[in-house]
Structure 1
């Protein structure tokens, strides 16, 4: 399985970035052997295009920090599972994911609700 991680450095020893769009690197990890593809988050790469990179690599999930609405929508529309890994190294976050101890990022604001008002019919 491929898993994306927004990171401050090029290795799994680096910390997960606080914000998706501000990450220095996007790591695409093959979880079966921990091989890594490194994508530098250059200034000309928009947050939507960075989110599309996750899809292009066929990732099933992403470990990241906060997401802005544009990136969240791209990832959610592609059914990419979003996990919060802030405060952990990549290695720690992968271990926590394996134990199912990373929080899901369900909404743009990080809450458990849908964040929208709905009309009842």
Structure 2
């Protein structure tokens, strides 16, 4: 049986990448003999639709299950519609994930485990090869920040305090003051 595992590299020793749509590679493993094919993910740098495009790619490769860390609603729906089982919450090397799968330690996820666009930070280094094999909690960036520093989050209700204008519109408007 073929299974697809999201990975940071192109080998069985690569670390599982927790982002389904943005992983650099899918390692498609034949569970009977551990033969595998490493497939670069062309959707890793996509502006939008990465999960759906990645799901279509994995389905075309003949996998019956996808094993990953996180899977959003669009990718989950596409995978389920194609008849693939989705297993989330995985971690470790690709080889370890395959061993756990074969031992029956995983169960399929009936629904996504993250919100849409959860992993929307593109895979770093995707054009220069795979990213480093290791990730620590201090360098994992799932892409959920809102830029809250020094501006209150950009909620659109500010007074335009830039350039010392006190919010009075410093542009080239038609207002010439009082006459």
Please report the TM-score for the alignment, with normalisation by the length of structure 2: 0.56
RMSD: 1.8
More helix by share: 1
Runs ≥4 residues deviating over 3 A: none
Q: For residues 26-45 of structure 1, what are the structure 2 equivalents within 5 Å?
A: 26-42=26-42, 43-44=45-46
Structure 2 spans left out of the alignment, 5+ residues? 115-179
Give the CA deviation at 1:52: 0.7
Counting only pairs closer than 5 Å after superposition, residues 1-121 of structure 1 correspond to structure 2 as: 1-42=1-42, 43-44=45-46, 46-84=50-88, 86-109=90-113
Greater shift after overlay, 85-94 or 43-52?
A: 43-52
Q: Report deviation, 1:65.
A: 1.4
Relative contact order, CA 8 A, sep 6+: which one is greater? Answer: 1
Count of matched residue pairs: 110
TM-score, normalising length: structure 1: 0.81
Does the 8 Å CA contact 1:17/1:86 hold for their aligned counterparts? Answer: no
